[in-house]
Chains A and B, each alone.
Chain A
Amino acid sequence: DSGVTQTPKHLITATGQRVTLRCSPRSGDLSVYWYQQSLDQGLQFLIQYYNGEERAKGNILERFSAQQFPDLHSELNLSSLELGDSALYFCASSDRTGSPLHFGNGTRLTVT
C-alpha cells in the first residue's frame, strides 16, 4: 500500500460530460502529480502541485484542470469528455519535488 488514495476506482461516463477525480496523498507529502496512461502506453505527465500551488505542467489539455486544497488532497477535473480521454489516471505524491513518487492505484475512466 503506497498510502496514496484515489477515488473513484472506476468511472463510466458519456461524451461531453464532466468528471472529477480525487486524490489523497501520503501523509506528510506536499507534492501531488497527475498522470494519464492510455492503453498500452507509458505514463504521460499532466500536472504537479506543491503545497497548494501549481508547480509544473505537462501535456494537459485545456479541457482538463486540477487543484490542490489546503488539506493537500487534489482533484483533477476533466470536462467536455471525448472517447480518447478513456484512460487510467494516476495520482502520485512525494514529500518534495525531486523525491521518488508514490503512486495510487488509479482511476479507470471509460468514456462511451
Chain B
Amino acid sequence: GQQLNQSPQSMFIQEGEDVSMNCTSSSIFNTWLWYKQDPGEGPVLLIALYKAGELTSNGRLTAQFGITRKDSFLNISASIPSDVGIYFCAGTSGSRLTFGEGTQLTVNP
C-alpha cells in the first residue's frame, strides 16, 4: 500500500528557531495536507496543498507541494512555545488518504 515517510520523528528546538519537516513517498499524491495535534485533542488542519509546486503560507507556517508530487515540506518560522505538538502530513490519491507517522516538536523557552 501507499506509505508516507515523515521526518524527523522528533525535534527539540529553542524558541525563536526555524523548523523544517518533510514527507516523502514513492507514490504520487493529488493533495498534501498538514495537521497539528495538541495533546489530548484531535488533529487540526493547518495547510492544504492542491497543485504540484504550490507554496502556501498560514502565518508563520509555509508548506510546499513538491514538483514530483511525491513529497511535501512544512516550515515553521520563529517558533514559539505553543508550536509544541505533533505535526502530521497526509496525502490523498483518489479517495485514499494516507497519514505520515508524525513529527513530535518540542520548543524550549
Contact = CB atoms under 8 A, between A and B. Distances in A.
Interface string A30-45: 0001000000011101
A103 B45 CA distance: 8
A90 B30 contact: no
B-side binding surface: helix, strand, loop or mixed?
strand
Contacts, number: 49
Given A2-B42, A55-B95, A100 B33 contact: yes
Interface in B83-109: 88, 90, 92, 94-97, 99-102
A106 B42 contact: yes
A101 interface: yes
B31 interface: yes
Contact of B43 (A45, A55, A103): A103
A-side binding surface: helix, strand, loop or mixed?
loop
Given A2-B42, A100-B33, A105-B42, A42 B95 contact: no
B48 interface: yes
A46 to B, nearest CB: 12
Given A98-B31, A98-B94, A103 B44 contact: yes
Interface residues of B, number: 22
A63 to B, nearest CB: 23
A42 B42 contact: no
State the 6 A-B residue pairs at the shortest beta-carbon distance, nearest first: A103-B42, A97-B95, A42-B101, A105-B42, A43-B99, A103-B43
Interface of A: 2, 4, 33, 41-43, 45, 55-56, 90, 92, 97-98, 100-106, 108
20 contacts: A33-B97, A42-B88, A42-B100, A43-B99, A45-B99, A55-B95, A56-B95, A90-B42, A90-B43, A97-B95, A98-B30, A98-B31, A98-B97, A100-B33, A101-B97, A103-B44, A105-B40, A106-B41, A106-B42, A108-B40
